[in-house]
Structure 1
Amino acid sequence: MNITELTAPFLSSIKNIFYQMSSVSVSYDGEFYGENDDIVSYGVSSIITFSGLFVGRLLIDMEPGLALTIAQNINGDSFASVKDDMVLATISELNNIIAGDGITQLNNSMKLKLRLAPPIVFAGNNPVICIPKISSQSINCTTQYGKLKFNIAFERSR
């Protein structure tokens, strides 16, 4: 099983769920690429981990304007700050749904027995996300409201 087989289900989930939930269209800027350095966040990030026959995580990172637009579109209300609890909860739940959909596709096709942990979310000015010693893949994306990055990591369980 190669990394393309593991990341492919998330590509469709990202586009479909972003559009279904928030009416935001996502365009990919190329393909997944290896990410070996720390990630400097755009400003709003959510991480969800999973375990089973593989362990890993899905990170969604976006610019603050995009996070505010998503929260507004999903909740039907406007927000002044990305640190508003509802904005953070919305981004966290969006990640949970995307990860859940991707994991379900993997479990259905490959029987990996993957299960999700609850997501975490944070916001700040240029926080650095340290990547542990686990191979990860990133894909850069754009929307009409700002930049977006997805980073996914897989490691075979011990």
Structure 2
Amino acid sequence: MRMRKCGVVVAALAAVLAVSGPTATADQKVTELRAYVVAGGKPRGVVEGQHWQSYAMLRDAADKRIGDVSIACVVVKARDKRVLADCGHALRIDGKGTLLIHGTHHYRDQTVMPGTADPMRHIVTGGTGDFAHASGTADLLEVIGGYTYKLGGLG
């Protein structure tokens, strides 16, 4: 049963890339998408319970714009120089629907440190349209200027 649900995400993302980028096949193990943050982001000196939002442009592996991403986070723990934030990502893919991803972001020295906790394993909680029954996991990498989502290999 889990494999069937996970296959929905892989098949839907393969369909997105078949329309918007390089040829993708249903047996492709990982789909990589890149989000470039254009607004918002984590402020400095956060405290527990503080919220922030980010907005990003979503691009495929060929760097073609295929949608956008909204990210909402809340600080669950802020101690010394480390911060843990609970974050939800809504990846809106043009003409396909929205994929929802949820997980914990790790920060050191109150700033994003690419490589500090990479990859961060997030859960795919569902979505709309082609992603209405999506489930599984996604690896999220924080990179300078945004995020890289590695989706697939979900079974």
TM-score (ref. length: structure 2)? 0.30
**Structure with the larger helix share:** 1
TM-score (ref. length: structure 1)? 0.30
**Structure with the larger strand share:** 2
